Structure 1
Amino acid sequence: MAGGNNVARMSPRQRMINLMYIVLTAMLALNVSSDVLNGFSQVQDGIQGTNLNITARNGVQFAHLENLYEQNPEKAGRWYQQGVELHKRSDKLYALIEDLKTSIAKAADGADGKYSDIVNNDDLEASAVTMLNPATNKGQALRRNLDEYRKYVVTMIPDAEKRKAVENMLSTKVSARSGDVGSQSWEQKMFENMPAVAAVTLLTKVQNDIRQAESEALSGLIAAVDMGDVRVNELNAYVIPVSNMIMRGGKYSADIVLAAIDTTQRPEIFINGSKLDNAKGHYEFVAGSVGTHDFSGYIEVPRADGTTDRRPFKSSYTVMEPMATISPTMMNVLYAGIANPISISVPGVPMTAVQATMSNGTLTRNGDHWVAHPGKVGSESVISVSANIDGHSQTVGSMTFRVRKLPDPSPYLAIKDGNGNTVHYKGSPKRISKGALMASEGIGAAIDDDILNVTYSVVSFSTVFYDQMGNAIPELSDGSRFSSRQKEQFRRLKPGKTFFITDVKAKGPDGITRDISPMQVALN
């Protein structure tokens, strides 16, 4: 509910609140973790504290309006009565939202739930049950109350730009976005599938908007009395950076402002001894060397008596090397002939702004995941990552991988264990029963060492039995299955006997047919 094209007309505190709100809504578009949900609690506490400060400030404004009425009831009476009604309606709507926050907390945590300390902060049903229940329609009622309050409060704000800013701030209009199917109400957008802690934080932001609107209206009423020439009695300098963490080659951007500034006389700003050539105090430069850097300066503003008041300030920023996180899912090598899953991310950059390329192979993307298909075995593949930062593409990192041929698989017999589960018997020293051997249809081959899990197709194999004279009796398979002659030899085996499976040929997903190691089968 923040926005409009009147940001420059807002106070520095309100601009910071709006920035926090933008960050909050951006995080809601992500698959957030528990750490991020806890971050919502910190945002909620910050806005709640700001609400208390604005409430106290509004109280001071109202007390001043009341004092003006006591000094001159005839002149200030009309505006004072409007202020009383404004104060009453603002408190009533603020209290209503306070009750809704408590209801959401109780829906998430039970009767003892408190919105200041929600235990089940990821509960996606609490806000919908409270606000979208068709039996109560609390969300719809809140929207109607906000619409009525907006129409009421803007009539007390004489400045057109401020009036437009408050209208946008308290607007419940939902703009259709590309890809949306059907219309969506304001309450659905605010509370459907919304974590409990996020819903409470959004409601706290609405309370902040109400207090801010009340403050603007009170200022308008005081100005209307023509006795409210408020003079600045305290000046503080602030540096408001877009971010304290930037990459080398990126831009550092900050707003340097003087709180409670007289808008009719712009202050002069000096940074490291040089005057800033920007009347609005916007300061930016291209970051160079890596590390933490400090800068300081002062702001000079003329007083009414002709003297100059100087207020110093200082701030710092950190420049880091461009970097990318590339995590190979299967060790630090890539295997030819199979799909190698790769994780790629760039800290502080959304996945949609990250691109990657690969030498000696191809790299394909599926959502936020990547799959590498390396080329020539024995060569190296380099994965290079770039990111769109401040509107231009920048290389942020690369990693070199060795390309290897798939290892040879091991042959096995698929048999049932005592629990009826299929297991891979890979030969002696373990032994199997004759019944398990007779139940097996043939042999398989695979790499199943918990690092790679790759299945091979057995092309052919032989079995070798030994008679009582020690003579070898070889028998050929029927592809990957035991032939009838091999099964006949199985039936003749006595307990404790062994035989060999040799000349195993298996074909892998890389299309290579290879001879793999034999196995010795031992019976109980």
Structure 2
Amino acid sequence: MAIKKRPVSPRQKMINLMYVVLMAMLALNVSTEVLDGFSIVEESLRRTTANSTKENRSIYDGFEAQMKSNPEKVRAWFAKATEVKSTSDSLYDFVQQLKVEIVMEADGAHGDIDNIKRKDDLEAASQVMLAPGTGKGKTLYNMINSFRNRILSMITDEHQRSVISSNLTTELPKNAVTMGKNWQEYMFEDMPVAAAVTLLSKLQSDIRYAEGEVLHTLVSNIDMKDIRVNKLSAFVIPNAQTVVRGDKFSAQIVMAAVDTTQTPQIYIGGRQMNLKNNTYEFIAGRTGDFNLTGYITMQNGRGDVIRRDFSQKYTVVDPSATVSADLMNVLYAGYSNPMSVSIPGVPLNKVSATMSGGTLQPVGPGKYIARPAAVGKDVTITVSSLQTGSPKQMGQFTFHVRKLPDPTAYIALGDNRFRGGGMAKASLMSAGGIKAAIDDGLLDIEFRVTGFETVFFDNMGNAVPMASAGASFSQRQRDAFRGLSRNKRFYITRISAVGPDGITRNLPASMEVIVK
């Protein structure tokens, strides 16, 4: 049986609400002993921060001294140290300003952070950090994130990164997320002045700690990460292994320091190599430009493994020899003559060629298209080597310029070229017209047929010429084809064609076609 509840009177509701408010006020009433405890923690944090600041200042002084004695070695690290100091001081000073504003909000214009009067004030921190439009909590949140990310980018040690990331975290615990609060509200809402100032002092201590960790990392990059060596060797590094007579030989002569007590680990293509005397050898299977890349790892004086990347370009060329026929040094005017140019011992991408009396267009390594300007005027091709950076002339070659020879007419039957003789009538009826080309086994150059005639003979032996429709058979010619019986013949003559040189030619030869 259900029990019916008695209704609650308005007076009872008011009493219950007052009780809840009283309990909340009692919960917020922080004892004097707790507030004094915050003062003790605050004093300890100040001492720790002062010691960190003093140690960091000593490192900066060391940087400045090394910068004066060895600027080339120290300059990059000194610049980073200066950047770290500027970034750290900016955030540290902003936090100090917040502490002063919170205390002055609680104690008035003469408030002193070393002697806080109203330590239990619950409104001052909220006013300074969370007030709509003027609260600085969001600014502090963004500055902490920016500072943390910048500091972590300069540290590689995972343990150091973990500590700094934990100290400077702005992530919220789960209970704050479920309550719908942001970071600044979680940290400073209804926070007593003593606690807020102590939290900010803790942040200042973390800033100086992170600053010191970065400085120690930068210092180790100057000295502690130097590789100890016990042998000096001289090396000659030439710019090119092959030098042409009369060309310049260029090489770097350097002194390299090595440590014979340990063997570096060499990686090429992501795979560790086991090299004899650190010499890498392979059989070149393809021609072209390549880049040998990899990295070397070795332990430094502190025992850390350091890595140095390397990259070396090289060129592989085919075994080559140049053979020229003295009686075949001919180029055709108005035609794209393919040319191959090479210099023995010189990579193709280091070979340059120019031509007088026309144009010479590069189309690939060692490949050119020559177009002489006029028939009968010789052209000269000049070949140069660019192996040393500046052009070095290697030779000049003269070619006679001739007109393209006349083409031969044909009828295209699939892949076959019919040039005369017996042809099936069906094949003749399917043919569209005639074409012309130079096809002598060396050249295969198409010409454009502009017109031709077919000559038939009637029963009286009279010649009946019929004109074409350009390169195609006209309708009249096709009608004549249909009337041809077996073993009848006709002739294709007066063929005119235009080649790639733009010259129109009237071909003297005729083509005999016998219907089968």
- TM-score bracket, normalised by the shorter chain, equals 0.3 to 0.5
> If the length of structure 1 is used for normalisation, what is the TM-score?
0.42
Higher gyration radius (CA): 2
